[in-house]
Chain A
C-alpha cells in the first residue's frame, strides 16, 4: 500500500473539509493565556496583605542592586570594566528571579543578569569577571548553581531545560530559572527550549525581561505577538504577564511558577514588562533610537520608588531601616570599588590549562612556546605585540 492509498488521507476521503471528528485540542488553551494587563500588587489593596519582611527584603535588595548598577557603570568610565550592560530600571526582575529560587535550584542568566547572580549570593567581583575581561566565567557554576553568564542570546535556555530534565530524571528536587531579553525571544533557541520544556514537562521557569529594546530595535519590530507571554500558549505552557517594576508582584508570579514546576506542573513563561533606563551598554548611544521623554516616563515608574511608596504607606520605611539599607548598599559599592581597582592576578599560562581535561601534546608545546616568550619578556626584551588596546567602546556583548 502506498502512502497515497492510506485510508483517511485527505485525497481519498469525501465529506466535509477539516480534520476527522476524533480531532480535539490536546490542551485547553484558555488557562494558558496570560493576563490581559500586567499583574500588579503595589498600589492595589492586595499589597496591604503582603508580608512586611518580604517587602523589606525586596527593598534592601533593590537598593543594593541599584547601587551595584551605578558603581559598575562608574567602573567602565574608569577603565576598570571593559563593558557593562546595566540593569538599571530592571532591578526588580533581577532580585525577584534570585529570591524565587531555593538553594538547590539553578539560575541561567544572560550577560545582563549579573545582578540576579549577585542577589543569589555570588561575589560581586566574581560576577564581573567576564565584563572586566580577566576570564570568561569568574566563578564555579556548581557552587551557587548559577550557569555562566551567557552572551550568545537565548542559547542558555535549552541548557536550563536539559539540566532541569536531568535533575527530574534523577529524582532531584531542582527547578531551573532561565532569563532572556525580549530580543532573545526571536532566536530559534528560545522556541526550541520552550517546546522541549513543554513536551518534557520539565521543571523550568522562563523569565523574559521585556525592557522594550534589543539594543536599538523596539519590541514592535521584534514581534507581532499580542504579548511575549502569549508565546507560551503555542507550546502548551502557561504564559504570565507581570509588571516587571513591581517587585512583590514579580516575586509572587515567579514563586508560583517555581512551585508549579517543583510539583511536577511543568514549565511557565513569565513576561516581565520593564524598561532599560540606561543604554544597552555603557558603549551604546541610546539617543539614536529613543527619546528622553520616553525614558523619563519610565523613571516615574521606577521599581524602587514604587516599593518605597508602599513601605512608607505602611510605616515600614523607618529612619533606622532606611539608613541601614543605604549603608549596606554603600558598603557593597565600596567593596566593589576597592577590589575592582586592584589588578586581577593574571597568569597567561592559564590559557592552556583548561582546554581539555588532560593537556594535549600540541597544547604543551604551545604552552612551552608562550613560557619562553614570557621569560624573554621578563628579561627585558622589548615586547612588540599587536593586541592594540581599544576603546572599551567597541567591546559590547
Chain B
C-alpha cells in the first residue's frame, strides 16, 4: 500500500512530519479514521504531529477532546465498536496512565472476550522516553507496561521512514496498537520527501540497520541512533557490531533476532527503560532459549537504572550512552575464543 501523491524531489523531513503525513494519508484513504486527543485540533498537538488535520478534515475527524485520558480511550473503544478507526493521542507518556483501566481491561482483551466478534482497530499514539530535558512526568519509558499486556501490539519507530510506514500499518491493523513515538527523535531529519510515495512497514518485522560480525546490538526507538554511534566507535576497538532495530516489540520478530545472534554469537540489548522488569529481560530469555548453543557469551543488557525517571539535569547519567554500551560490549567474554586478549 503506497500513496497516490506524485513523487517530488526528496528533501529533509522530520519524524514528526512523517507521522503527520501518515495520519493525513490514512484519513484521506479511509473516512473511518478519526484522530482525537488533547490539543490535537487547533494547536495541532504539542509536538505538532496533528498539524493541519482539523483544518483539512474537519473537527469531527480530528477533534480536541475534554482533558480526560480514560474518557478519550474509553470513548474510542465505543467508536471502534461502531466501525470507526480511532487514532488517539496521549499527550505524554506519563499522562497515558489514567487510561490504563480502559487499555488493559478493555482495549487489550475485547477481541478475546467476545470470541473475535468485536475488534479494536485503534491506535494509541504516545510520545515516550527522555533526553529532551522534560520536567517530571514527561520522560517515562512505559513500553514494559504495554508489552506485559496480552492483546496489545507495541510499535516504536526509530527512523523517519518507519515513522510513516509503521504508523500506516498500525492504523490499518484490526487489532489495537500502542504506538510509541520516541520524542527525542521527533526532529530527526531524513532525506525523505513528505510528498514522495512511502512504503507501509509491516508490523512484527525487525530490521538490521548495520551489518556486523562480532556481536549484535538489539535495540529500538530512541536508542537506535545511540547504538549506531556506538557501533561506529567500536570499530576502533576492533569490534564489528551489528545493530538490529526491533521496530515492533509485539509482535516480536524472533527469527530476525535469532538469525543475527546466531551469526554473531553475542548479543547486547539496549533500551532506556528500566532494566529490571524491562523489555531486555524478555528478549534475553528468548535469545537464550533459542540460540543457547550459538552464544559465545551471556546476553547482556544496557538499560536505564531502576529509578524513577530523573530530573532533566541528571538524565544523561541515567540514559544508556555510547560509553556504557561500549563498556558492556567489552564484557562479552572476548577472550574466550577468537579475540584472545581483548577483555574487560
Interface of A toward B, CB cutoff 8 Å: 82-83, 111, 130-136, 151-153, 183-184, 186-189, 214-217, 221-223, 288-289, 344, 346, 348, 350-352, 355, 362-363, 366, 370, 373-374, 381, 383-390, 392, 394-397
Contacts and interface: CB of A to CB of B under 8 A. Distances in A.
B313 interface: yes
Q: Give the secondary structure class of A's interface.
A: loop
Nearest to A344: B313
Interface string B37-50: 01101111011000
Given A134-B311, A362-B276, A362-B306, A395 B133 contact: yes
A222 B41 CA distance: 13
B133 A389 contact: yes
Nearest to B137: A151
B322 A133 contact: no
B310 A351 contact: yes
Given A82-B133, A395-B138, A288 B42 contact: yes
Most A-side CB within 10 Å, residue of B98, B135, B183, B225: B135
B343 interface: no
Contacts of B131: 386-388, 390
Contact of B43 (A216, A350, A355): A216
A152 B95 contact: yes
Given A288-B44, A395-B134, A184 B317 contact: no
A385 B266 CA distance: 23
B42 A184 contact: no
A394 B47 contact: yes
Nearest to A131: B135
A152 B90 CA distance: 12
Contacts of A222: 66-67
B221 interface: no
16 contacts: A130-B135, A133-B135, A151-B135, A183-B66, A215-B46, A216-B64, A348-B317, A351-B317, A362-B276, A362-B306, A385-B319, A386-B316, A386-B322, A387-B316, A390-B131, A395-B135
A390 B184 contact: yes
Contacts of A186: 66-68, 71
Contacts, number: 169
A221 B322 contact: no
A83 B138 CA distance: 12
B301 to A, nearest CB: 12
B84 interface: no
B226 interface: yes
B319 A397 contact: no
A188 B95 contact: no
Given A82-B133, A151-B136, A288-B43, A346 B314 contact: yes
Given A350-B314, A385-B323, A390-B131, A187 B67 contact: yes
Interface string B303-344: 001111011111111111111100100000000000000000
A370 B317 contact: yes
Q: Which 5 A-B pairs have the closest CB atoms?
A: A385-B321, A387-B316, A133-B312, A216-B43, A186-B66
Contacts of B276: 362
A366 B305 contact: yes
Contact of B305 (A82, A153, A352): A352
B67 A188 contact: no
Nearest to A348: B317
Interface in B2-59: 38-39, 41-44, 46-47
A133 B226 CA distance: 23
B145 interface: no
A348 B311 CA distance: 10
B305 A370 contact: yes
Given A189-B98, A387-B319, 8 more contacts: A83-B135, A133-B133, A188-B98, A214-B67, A215-B39, A215-B43, A394-B134, A395-B132
A355 B311 contact: no
A134 B323 contact: no
Contacts of A187: 67-69, 98
A231 to B, nearest CB: 13
Contact of B323 (A82, A151, A289, A383): A383
Interface in B121-175: 130-138
B69 to A, nearest CB: 8
B322 to A, nearest CB: 4
B306 A397 contact: no
Contact of B226 (A374, A386, A392): A386
Nearest to A394: B132
A189 to B, nearest CB: 7
A144 to B, nearest CB: 19
B82 interface: no
Contacts of A352: 305, 307
Contact of A396 (B46, B94, B314): B46
B233 interface: yes
Nearest to B130: A387
A221 B323 contact: no
Contacts of B47: 394
Contact of B64 (A221, A348, A385): A221
B82 to A, nearest CB: 22
Contacts of B130: 387
Contact of B321 (A350, A355, A387): A387
B70 interface: yes
A296 B79 CA distance: 40
Contact of A217 (B67, B97, B315, B327): B67
B277 to A, nearest CB: 11
Contact of A386 (B46, B133, B314, B319): B319
A392 B312 CA distance: 10
Interface string B186-222: 1000000000000000000000000000000000000
Contacts of B313: 132-134, 344, 346
Given A184-B67, A188-B71, A389-B133, A351 B314 contact: yes
A386 B229 CA distance: 10
Contact of B135 (A189, A289, A397): A397
Nearest to A129: B311
Contact of B314 (A348, A362, A366, A388): A348
A108 to B, nearest CB: 16
Nearest to B324: A373
A42 B183 CA distance: 47
Contacts of B135: 82-83, 111, 130-131, 133, 136, 151, 395, 397
A392 B308 contact: no
A363 B186 CA distance: 32
B311 A136 contact: yes
Contacts of B314: 134, 346, 348, 350-351
A134 to B, nearest CB: 5
